Structure 1
Amino acid sequence: MDFAPLLHVLIAAVILMSLAFEVQRRTRNAGIVDVVWAGGMAAAAVYYGVVSEGSALSRFLAAMLGGVWGARLCLHLLWRVLHEEEDGRYRYLRQHWQDSQAKFFGFFMLQAGFTALFSVPFLIAANNPTASLSIWSIAGVLVWLLSLCGESLADRQLAAFRADPANRGKTCRAGLWRYSRHPNYFFEWLHWFGWVLLSVGAANAWLSLLGPLLMGASLVWITGIPFVEAQSLRSRGDDYRRYQQETSMFFLWPPRSRDS
């Protein structure tokens, strides 16, 4: 399998993140990094679908599923960047780093590397020689569909809650947010298992495991939940502490009594 397209994606990601850094420098809104990451992932999936050596079906599924997933996330994040103030996580980093643009540039370049790294499962799936629908590819599409619908629903429920001025300073417990403190992250993580299934039969299929492994580690321990929850505690205090006591952190689970 030719890994040259991965290098092409990395080079493109560095260029795009450099431009995004300049936007951040001018607007003082680092949320653009997430928009460009998602858009870059969508573009990488489409590119792999065009240039890879897998079957026509495998290349089509990689381009379509990866493109739709990344485009939806990109547009969702772009709306937030255009209509809301800078995310609290980035405001905290800006203050903590004393607005050091050198550190922000390093952060944007790190995200460029992550774009290439996280696109590996797309590349593996696009090079799958399987030419007809199999039980694995059908299962992969179903996992993709379930995760996309779940993440979209969680995003809409949170957006509707935040749009009500009466909820300012309160924690969303509506819909899926009653069963997980981060249902959007859970479905984002679940999405990557679809690529593991779509890669069955491909050379180096084990590399598709990078998706769920890296995304799980990132969301639970590194850039996801720790930053979000720290910001939520700063902004919502005791209300969010009660939410932590009552609600599963990641997996969807019935809420528990504070006395249990």
Structure 2
Amino acid sequence: MSTLTYAATDSATMLRRNLRHMRRYPSMTVMLIGMPVVFLLLFVYVFGGTLGSGLGEAAGGRSAYVNYVVPGIMLMALAATAQGTAISVAMDMTEGIIARFRTMAITRSSVLTGHVFGAVIQSMLCVAVSVAVGFLVGFRPDATAIEWLAVVGMVVLTAFALTWLTVAMGLVSKSVETASNTPMFLMLLPFFGSAFVPTDSMPTGLRWFAEYQPFTPITETLRGLLMGTSIGNSAALAIGWCIVIAGLGYLWARKLYARDPSN
């Protein structure tokens, strides 16, 4: 078999390993699903009436706000899953599993790609549950079948990018506790973007940051596709940010994984 075939086979083996972990230890998946769902219910039923009235729509209130906030909740689900990936990688590092894998006749990159593809699948599950709960509380998108496919593509691309970044964070962490805290900024960035309120309602300095940070164009792309509103250049910016984040995360993770473990 060719080198590429060996790499694909080993990556599939590592993916099965991660999927079995998800099945045998579902508590992490339940926690990752529960967090965005709790935020969705909190913002819709506690803050939704007030925040929805400030959206400037004729039919405002809670019904308008649930349509506005679900794309941001989807992004929070992706960030939460990425944080869980950092924890999983750090556990493998601190428990010596990766050190053992280094001694085995497997493609070195397959250990990392197994984590990445497993996390992308877990991300899709978390997003699907969040959207399903959104439908239960009044989410009513106007997306066509093609737009739904584009939404899925954007979610997969974002999950892929964030996961490579947090894989590197898990590798660089000295403990599981550090790995759980390092990606925390990913959970905070949606709050400093357009996930929960329009950026034009923010003070000038914060508005500038919100408009130029990566999560805002991703959120606006998802919202535009789901609700049939104008996207503008958000899709191009979102894809560009995902490519940059994925590339930097991959190069960082590859460098960390290749280093001498004794150093």
Fold shared per TM-score above 0.5: no
Query: TM-score normalized by structure 2?
Result: 0.31
Query: TM-score normalized by structure 1?
Result: 0.31
